[in-house]
């Protein structure tokens, strides 16, 4: 859990981070969040009166009408929790929820790699594959707040099973957790990836990137396959949305220019119209470890309509 | 060429239609358009002073800055024609261009099957596969006016060659022209489709739909394959954009409920999240033969900002 006190100019006045440690009881979890928030406001030298509102960036799916959390897989016991209401009661200020990929897209747009663009797609590329779409200067939320869930567009029709229950989802090929599951099967036991991970069962994208940096052939082939799937998702989004920028999150940002960004750009260019490829920025996320703070801040700013340029 | 005189309430005061007959000389073609427009205004009992502006719906790609036509494949000699400027000089009223798929999306949204929806995707499904996206009550145009060109998103990575020069484009599987090319190869010479077409080289989607209505097995298998590809495009768009409606044009509207709409709905439902599928309207276009009139009208209304609700 990352908490901060900040303002609409992106100034962070106080920040802290702690393990999530879900208790299994969402009432207790929300009460603890409220305590942390009060303490952080005091640490920033402010009182709650000075706080306009609270933004919460959290895993979807969200219920758009009730502003509830709908059973996120990594928060046990959190089923249909009315976070907005509960946290609002505990803190006494307006609360705004945003799903984490959308909030991160807003954060990169306003304070990170997306500054100055009027339209962009942000891809989390972390353990899962979340996405957020900004178009015409505002977040594109969709009918059920599911717009930008490009991790679950069918990349391979009836392809690999995905954790979400569907088959062939982009996340089943690009999410870090799915990739680690694959690595546990396909990594040669005597490979550099297995050595770095201390056994192929523990191999993750981090080890693939590290081994690829050393020139390891298996790691390079795995990255090539991943880049290919990523280019495919970007090409689909480029021809559908024609955005100014595509911003790539964790794995791509960590792997960097030579291993991911340059080969992905080249592959996208070969699979979309030149007019769409020319001038399309494909860039790494810029906020790094600070992104969660800005994501929460942006959830609040979006709630107040401060980010809406439309 | 379909021309009409209409107003912002969708009332058509006069309309006419003629073969395009491009002369090879765009200056002559535009002059003829201007003459036709003047004659039609007179036929409606009006003078040019009463006309606020002229909307032109025409095949892309368009140059967004200069409002030029950039070499459309079915208008010989039309290379970088400054339609807005030329037509504006000839008629003396403001001219607004919109690519035909976008204009048709606006037409269905305001006057057809998309009435009342705040967000929708329209797919032309005619000789080619054009698309238009309305989101948040306005047309999503994209950086280079290429948003909605979903006919050229890579449905199969390195798949069938497409007329646009890329490979695996959705249009290469779903466009009527591409389908006819396929039919010339795969249609059994003694099949019902070949009989209806007078030879398999002349077979088109119209003959497939007609033979499928009679229960012909080959035609049903071809339609099934087409439906599968269509469901795939819709599933990609549903998980990316989460629209309220997907509106299906010519081939789907002509084939109707039993042969296309119901099986496509079922297949989309099996490949997207239930929350996204529930309540997503997948419906046929409603304007039929009148669509080009409304498309031109909407190009003008959009140009004046009348359609913008944002």
Q: pLDDT by residue (tens digit) across B130-167?
A: 999 999 888 999 999 999 999 999 999 999 999 999 99
- In this prediction, residue B237 carries a pLDDT of 98
With CB atoms and an 8 Å threshold, state whether A240 touches B136: no
Measured between alpha carbons, how far is B150 from A153 in angstroms, rounded to an integer? 14
Distance from the A42 Cα atom to the nearest Cα atom in chain B, whole angstroms: 40
Position A67 pLDDT exceeds 80 = no
Residue of B nearest to A309 (CA): B310
How far apart CA A242 and CA A280 sit, in angstroms, is: 8
Mean of the pLDDT values across residues B247-252? 98
Tell whether the model's pLDDT for residue A66 goes beyond 70.
no
Judge: A271–B243 Cβ closer than 8 Å, yes or no: no
**What digits encode the pLDDT tens for the residues B286-306?**
999 999 999 999 999 999 988
Give the gap in angstroms from C-alpha B239 to the nearest C-alpha of chain A: 5
Identify the CA nearest to B123 among candidates B207, B257, B293, B238: B238
Q: Count residue pairs from A and B with Cβ separation < 8 A.
A: 142
How do residues A4-22 score in pLDDT, each as one tens digit? Answer: 999 999 999 999 999 988 8
pLDDT in tens, B44-85: 999 999 999 999 998 877 876 767 777 776 677 888 788 899
Find chain B residues with C-beta within 8 A of A272's C-beta.
152, 154, 166
Residues across chain A: 310
Interface touch B149/A228, C-beta < 8 Å: no
Token reading at B237 = 């768009």
- Within 8 A of B146 by CB-CB distance, chain A residues are 239, 242, 273, 275-276
Q: What is the ipTM of this complex?
A: 0.95
Compare all CA atoms of chain A with the CA of B308 and give the residue at the minimum distance.
A310
CB contact under 8 A, A141 and B275: no
Q: State the average pLDDT for chain A.
A: 94
- Chain B residues whose CB is inside 8 A of the A280 CB are 143
- What is the C-alpha separation between A227 and A1, in angstroms, rounded? 30
Q: What is the pLDDT of residue A310?
A: 42
Tell me whether residues B243 and A143 touch, CB distance under 8 A: yes
So what's the pLDDT on residue B66?
Answer: 65
pLDDT computed for residue B76 by the predictor: 76
Of A131, A154, A280, nearest to B232 by CB-CB distance is A154
Tens of pLDDT, residue by residue over B88-135, are: 999 999 999 999 999 999 999 999 999 999 999 999 999 999 999 999
Span B182-216, pLDDT tens digits: 999 999 999 999 999 999 999 999 999 999 999 99
Q: Inform me whether the pLDDT recorded for B310 exceeds 60.
A: no
Q: What does the pLDDT average to over B29-43?
A: 95
- Residue written as token pair 């498309």: B295
Give bridge partners of residue A4 from the DSSP assignment: A15
Q: Are B44 and B13 in contact (CB under 8 A)?
A: yes
The structure tokens listed for A232 are 């495919």
A238, A248, A255: which is closest to A287 by C-alpha?
A: A248
State how far the Cα of A197 lies from the Cα of A155, in Å rounded to an integer: 29
Which residues does chain A have within 8 Å of residue B157's beta carbon, measured at their own beta carbons? 228, 232, 271
Report the alpha-carbon distance of residue A120 to residue A114 in Å, rounded: 7
Q: Which residue has the tokens 């003078």?
A: B47
Q: Decide if B140 and A143 are in contact by the 8 Å CB cutoff.
A: no
Mean pLDDT within A299-309: 87
């Amino acid at each position: 859990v990352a908490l901060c006190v900040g303002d609409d100019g992106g100034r962070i006045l106080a920040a802290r981070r702690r393990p999530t440690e879900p208790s299994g009881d969402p009432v207790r979890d929300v009460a603890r969040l409220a305590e942390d928030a009060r303490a952080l406001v005091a640490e920033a030298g402010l009182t709650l009166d000075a706080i306009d509102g609270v933004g919460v960036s959290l895993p979807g799916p969200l219920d758009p009408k009730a502003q509830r959390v709908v059973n996120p897989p990594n928060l046990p016991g959190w089923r249909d929790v009315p976070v907005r209401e509960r946290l609002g009661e505990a803190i006494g200020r307006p609360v705004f929820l945003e799903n984490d990929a959308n909030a991160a897209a807003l954060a990169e747009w306003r304070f990170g790699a997306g500054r100055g663009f009027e339209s962009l797609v942000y891809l989390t590329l972390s353990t899962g594959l979340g996405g957020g779409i900004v178009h015409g200067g505002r977040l594109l939320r969709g009918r059920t707040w599911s717009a930008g869930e490009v991790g679950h567009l069918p990349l391979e029709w009836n392809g690999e099973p995905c954790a979400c229950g569907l088959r062939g989802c982009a996340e089943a090929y690009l999410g870090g957790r799915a990739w680690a599951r694959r690595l546990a099967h396909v990594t040669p036991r005597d490979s550099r990836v297995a050595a770095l991970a201390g056994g192929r069962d523990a191999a993750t994208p981090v080890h693939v990137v590290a081994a690829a940096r050393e020139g390891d052939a298996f790691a390079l082939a795995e990255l090539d396959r991943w880049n290919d799937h990523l280019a495919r998702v970007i090409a689909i989004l480029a021809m559908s949305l024609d955005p100014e920028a595509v911003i790539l999150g964790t794995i791509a940002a960590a792997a960097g220019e030579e291993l991911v960004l340059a080969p992905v750009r080249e592959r996208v260019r070969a699979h979309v119209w030149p007019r769409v490829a020319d001038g399309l920025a494909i860039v790494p996320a810029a906020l790094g470890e600070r992104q969660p703070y800005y994501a929460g801040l942006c959830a609040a700013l979006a709630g107040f309509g401060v980010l809406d340029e439309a």
